């Protein structure tokens, strides 16, 4: 035994044993015997609250008291209402052939009513899949509460580290004490996440065995479009095998590209954008104060520009590039640079040698000439190919650069040569597990800065421009993924979890939980279930056509982009910055419960 002096019991001391939450050492961290002892010591001496307060921030302590709002239908007894049968958004015959058991299922909604009977005891498993998004803990909280409301003996098991935890039998029972510590908090640390996909029948069968051993009735997959596509494949396989284990999904991704007519928004998008907008606003205020820097800010969003567009609508930057528009107009990299130079020069003519430009993470893959170049590089540097081995055999960076230039098609070779050496090198770094360039590692914002500087230097030598240009580059990504969820995301995620519990109770499989009408007050939200297959189409993945949930790109004919396009020319010249400030959790509903401008514009609720 060892003595404890409360005054010396510091956060640093806690961190030395990797303690972040009370539940970690009480339930999930058996190796931390010292902390189990400390907890018992403080509890025995009536100092438990002191102990808990030390491992929570004041905000977290207060935030834990927040009771999420949810649809009126979910408060009392609930009945299920069936809608019409569905079909996939495209490629109906192919999707139906691949998913004969889960294709064409009807839409379902939940309404007030029902007899309120206590259902038989059931165990449910939950998986967090893919990158983190604010609100995941509230989905699990809502799921837990929904299951306990159906029958207090129900149990929820969390599979650790993502989908891999299912097949490796790594799990923890999520008790009330554990769940209580994570309500309204950011992150996925309650059970962890992972990007492993379950793709082989051997993996499916192992998962089936684990579920049978734990007497699990259903598995809830909380993830993005790829994770939910995977969930649909598993649901179909289990039905094919004659298993009654259900699979339900929940729509997660801060990128905002998992949405359609039935999924109005993916959770985490609201919070992440609010975090990024606070940071952008802070930089705008600094830029407008110092008046000497252009700030090029790269934002999350590889496959779509929803985050960039939302942040532009909230903060009014001088420039915001939209990848989908650039692809539509088939702009070259040099044309993009020329457009930036024009804005910078026009502001300089007014004496404003500062500004803010927002750059989507995936921009480089939407520029047609760059897309072709990247495709050629992926083939040239594919693992196991002779050309990849020959490239790796080159000793210096210059030798590797020359080798690539010699082995590309003429146009791609020209583009590659035009790139700054540092960026060109980033394009040749190790590929991801699918053989593709790792876009997040390409400093697109730095590429544009260097090319703008080069262009301005040429214009200056030619006597066509005398612009003072000094730039800073930023990348806002991880900063938004684990923030404490906004009121909207806290409410929305909790409602998704409660809806998922009802889908399980009603015997559904192959469905994604849906909550709609989200620009209305939360008691008017609609809880529903949407068949996975309704959202699917066939896309080319790794050289062959695969069924996948269709990604939602920024639509140039929709209200959010039109609202942005109508104002951007004014914002380019004027300093019209808006400073949103931090997320507000308490205060007027118009401030603390506000949804994204994207969602308001899409539903005609924004003036």
CA 21 to chain centre: 24
Give dist(CA 372, CA 360) in Å, integer. Answer: 19
Whether pLDDT at 580 is above 70:
yes
Domain total in the chain: 4
Q: Do both 124 and 176 map to the same domain?
A: yes
0.75 exceeded by pTM? yes
Is 255 part of the annotated catalytic residue set? Answer: yes
Which residue of the set 189, 225, 255, 257 is catalytic?
Answer: 255
DSSP label at residue 462:
T
The burial class, CB within 10 Å (0-12 / 13-18 / 19+), for 9 is middle
Q: Do both 123 and 202 map to the same domain?
A: yes
Give dist(CA 229, CA 108) in Å, integer. Answer: 19
Please state the φ and ψ torsions of residue 471, each to the nearest 5 degrees.
-130, 155
Give the pLDDT confidence score for residue 433 in this predicted structure.
Answer: 60
- Which band of pLDDT confidence, cut at 50, 70 and 90, is reported for residue 12? very low
Who's near 211: CB < 8 A, 6+ residues apart? 125, 166, 219, 245
In a domain, 378, yes or no: yes
Give dist(CA 440, CA 233) in Å, integer. Answer: 28
Contact at 8 Å (CB) between 262 and 107?
Answer: yes
- Which band of pLDDT confidence, cut at 50, 70 and 90, is reported for residue 5? very low
Tokens representing 35 are 């902390």
Give dist(CA 289, CA 188) in Å, integer. Answer: 38
In a domain, 325, yes or no: yes
Q: Do both 526 and 558 map to the same domain?
A: no
Tokens representing 131 are 């990158």
Q: Do both 234 and 274 map to the same domain?
A: no
Give dist(CA 272, CA 278) in Å, integer. Answer: 10
Give the pLDDT confidence score for residue 26 in this predicted structure.
Answer: 40
Whether pLDDT at 24 is above 70:
no
Lowest-confidence pick of 49-63, 155-169, 415-429? 49-63
Instruction: Between 23 and 218, name the one with better pLDDT.
Output: 218
For the CA atoms of 170, 228, 326, 538, the dihedral, rounded to the nearest 10 degrees, stands at 130
Q: Do both 419 and 457 map to the same domain?
A: no
- From 448, 481, 436, select the one nearest 359 (Cα to Cα): 448
Q: Do both 82 and 208 map to the same domain?
A: yes
CATH for 405: 1.10.10.480
Task: Give the model confidence (pLDDT) of 215-255 as tens digits.
Answer: 999 999 999 999 999 999 999 999 999 999 999 999 999 99
The burial class, CB within 10 Å (0-12 / 13-18 / 19+), for 365 is buried
| Range 351-364 average pLDDT | 95
Q: Do both 414 and 373 map to the same domain?
A: yes
Percentage of the chain exceeding pLDDT 70? 89
Size of the chain in residues: 607
Name the residue range of residue 235's domain. 72-268+485-541
Give the pLDDT confidence score for residue 429 in this predicted structure.
Answer: 83
Q: Do both 309 and 414 map to the same domain?
A: no
Q: Do both 190 and 118 map to the same domain?
A: yes
Contact at 8 Å (CB) between 104 and 511?
Answer: no
Contact at 8 Å (CB) between 486 and 270?
Answer: yes
Give dist(CA 363, CA 377) in Å, integer. Answer: 17
Task: Give the model confidence (pLDDT) of 550-573 as tens digits.
Answer: 999 999 999 999 999 999 999 999
Mapped onto helix, strand or coil, the DSSP state of residue 329 is helix
CATH for 167: 3.40.50.450
Give dist(CA 492, CA 522) in Å, integer. Answer: 8
Task: Give the model confidence (pLDDT) of 177-206 as tens digits.
Answer: 999 999 999 999 999 999 888 888 999 999
Tokens representing 509 are 């499989």
Task: Give the model confidence (pLDDT) of 436-474 as tens digits.
Answer: 677 777 889 999 999 999 999 999 888 777 789 999 999
Give the pLDDT confidence score for residue 8 in this predicted structure.
Answer: 40
- Helical ranges in 257-356 per DSSP H: 269-290, 306-315, 323-329, 333-349
Give the pLDDT confidence score for residue 11 in this predicted structure.
Answer: 42
Mapped onto helix, strand or coil, the DSSP state of residue 101 is coil
| Pairing between β-strand 536-541 and β-strand 319-320 as defined by DSSP bridges | unpaired
Give the pLDDT confidence score for residue 423 in this predicted structure.
Answer: 87
Give the pLDDT confidence score for residue 52 in this predicted structure.
Answer: 62
Task: Give the model confidence (pLDDT) of 468-525 as tens digits.
Answer: 999 999 999 999 999 999 999 999 999 999 999 999 999 999 999 999 999 999 999 9
Contact at 8 Å (CB) between 500 and 267?
Answer: no
Lowest-confidence pick of 35-44, 231-240, 409-418? 35-44
Who's near 566: CB < 8 A, 6+ residues apart? none
Give dist(CA 106, CA 103) in Å, integer. Answer: 9
Q: Do both 300 and 378 map to the same domain?
A: no
Q: Do both 130 and 238 map to the same domain?
A: yes
In a domain, 346, yes or no: no
Give the pLDDT confidence score for residue 420 in this predicted structure.
Answer: 87
In a domain, 62, yes or no: no
Instruction: Between 132 and 119, name the one with better pLDDT.
Output: 132
Angle among Cα 562, 568, 570 to the nearest 5 degrees reads: 130
Query: What distance, in Å, lies between the first and last C-alpha atoms of the chain?
Result: 66
Tokens representing 415 are 């583009």
Give the pLDDT confidence score for residue 196 in this predicted structure.
Answer: 87
In a domain, 67, yes or no: no
Q: Do both 308 and 323 map to the same domain?
A: yes
| Strand order through the sheet with 155-159 | 78-85, 106-112, 526-531, 511-516, 246-251, 216-223, 123-128, 155-159, 171-173
**In whole angstroms, how far apart are CA 282 and each of 298, 533, 597?**
15, 43, 19
Max distance between CA atoms of the chain, in angstroms, equals 82
In a domain, 450, yes or no: yes
Instruction: Between 536 and 11, name the one with better pLDDT.
Output: 536
In a domain, 581, yes or no: yes
Whether pLDDT at 21 is above 80:
no
Contact at 8 Å (CB) between 84 and 107?
Answer: yes
Who's near 253: CB < 8 A, 6+ residues apart? 130, 131, 133, 223, 224, 225, 266, 268, 269
Contact at 8 Å (CB) between 267 and 133?
Answer: yes
Task: Give the model confidence (pLDDT) of 100-126 as tens digits.
Answer: 999 999 999 999 987 777 789 999 999
**In whole angstroms, how far apart are CA 556 and each of 306, 324, 426, 552?**
11, 8, 31, 12
- Which band of pLDDT confidence, cut at 50, 70 and 90, is reported for residue 329? very high
| Range 281-308 average pLDDT | 96
DSSP label at residue 74:
G
In a domain, 336, yes or no: no
User: 325: left (phi > 0), else alpha (psi -120 to 50), else beta?
Assistant: alpha
């Amino acid at each position: 035994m060892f003595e404890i002096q409360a005054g010396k019991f510091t956060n640093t001391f806690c961190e030395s044993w990797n303690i972040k939450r009370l539940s970690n050492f009480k339930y999930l961290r058996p190796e931390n015997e010292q902390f189990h002892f400390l907890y018992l010591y403080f509890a025995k001496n009536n100092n438990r609250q002191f102990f808990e307060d030390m491992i929570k921030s004041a905000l977290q302590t207060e935030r834990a008291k927040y009771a999420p709002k949810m649809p009126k239908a979910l408060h009392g007894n609930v009945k299920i209402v069936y809608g019409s049968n569905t079909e996939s958004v495209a490629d109906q015959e192919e999707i139906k052939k691949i998913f004969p058991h889960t294709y064409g299922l009807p839409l379902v909604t939940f309404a007030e009513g029902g007899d309120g009977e206590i259902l038989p005891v059931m165990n449910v498993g939950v998986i967090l899949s893919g990158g983190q998004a604010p609100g995941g803990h509230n989905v699990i909280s809502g799921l837990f509460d929904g299951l306990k409301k159906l029958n207090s003996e129900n149990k929820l098991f969390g599979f650790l580290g993502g989908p891999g935890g299912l097949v490796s039998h790594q799990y923890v029972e999520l008790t009330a004490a554990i769940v209580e510590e994570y309500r309204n908090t950011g992150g996925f640390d309650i059970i962890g996440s992972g990007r492993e996909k379950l793709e082989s029948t051997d993996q499916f069968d192992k998962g089936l065995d684990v579920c049978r051993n734990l007497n699990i009735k259903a598995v809830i997959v909380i993830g993005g479009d790829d994770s939910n596509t995977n969930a649909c494949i598993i649901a179909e396989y289990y039905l094919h095998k004659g298993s009654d284990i259900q699979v339900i999904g929940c729509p997660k991704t801060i990128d905002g590209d998992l949405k359609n007519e039935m999924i109005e928004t993916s959770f985490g998008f609201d919070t992440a954008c609010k975090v990024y907008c606070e940071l952008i606003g802070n930089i705008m205020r600094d830029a407008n104060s110092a008046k000497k820097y252009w700030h090029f800010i790269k934002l999350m969003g590889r496959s779509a520009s929803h985050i960039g567009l939302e942040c532009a609508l909230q903060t009014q930057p001088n420039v915001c590039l939209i990848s989908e528009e650039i692809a539509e107009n088939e702009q070259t990299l040099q044309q993009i640079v020329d457009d930036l130079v024009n804005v910078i020069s026009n502001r300089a003519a007014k004496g404003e040698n500062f500004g803010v430009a927002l750059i989507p993470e995936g921009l480089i893959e939407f520029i047609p000439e760059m897309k072709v170049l990247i495709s050629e590089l992926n083939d040239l540097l594919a693992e196991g190919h002779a050309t990849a081995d020959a490239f790796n055999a080159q000793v210096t960076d210059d030798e590797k650069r020359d080798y690539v230039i010699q082995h590309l098609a003429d146009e791609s070779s020209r583009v590659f040569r035009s790139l700054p050496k540092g960026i060109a090198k980033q394009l040749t770094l190790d590929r991801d597990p699918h053989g593709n360039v790792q876009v997040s590692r390409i400093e697109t914002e730095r590429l544009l800065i260097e090319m703008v500087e080069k262009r301005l230097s040429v214009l200056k030598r030619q006597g066509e421009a005398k612009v003072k240009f000094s730039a800073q580059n930023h990348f806002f990504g991880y900063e938004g993924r684990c923030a404490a969820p906004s009121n909207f995301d806290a409410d929305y995620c909790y409602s998704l979890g409660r809806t998922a519990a009802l889908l399980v109770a009603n015997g559904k499989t192959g469905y994604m939980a849906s909550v709609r009408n989200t620009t209305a007050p939360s008691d008017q939200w609609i809880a529903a279930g949407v068949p996975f297959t309704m959202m699917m189409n066939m896309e080319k993945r790794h050289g062959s056509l695969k069924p996948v949930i269709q990604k939602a790109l920024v639509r140039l004919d929709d209200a959010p982009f039109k609202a942005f396009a109508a104002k951007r020319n004014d914002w380019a010249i004027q300093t019209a910055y808006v400073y949103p400030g931090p997320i507000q959790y308490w205060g007027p509903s118009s401030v603390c419960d506000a949804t994204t401008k994207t969602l308001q514009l899409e539903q005609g609720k924004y003036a």
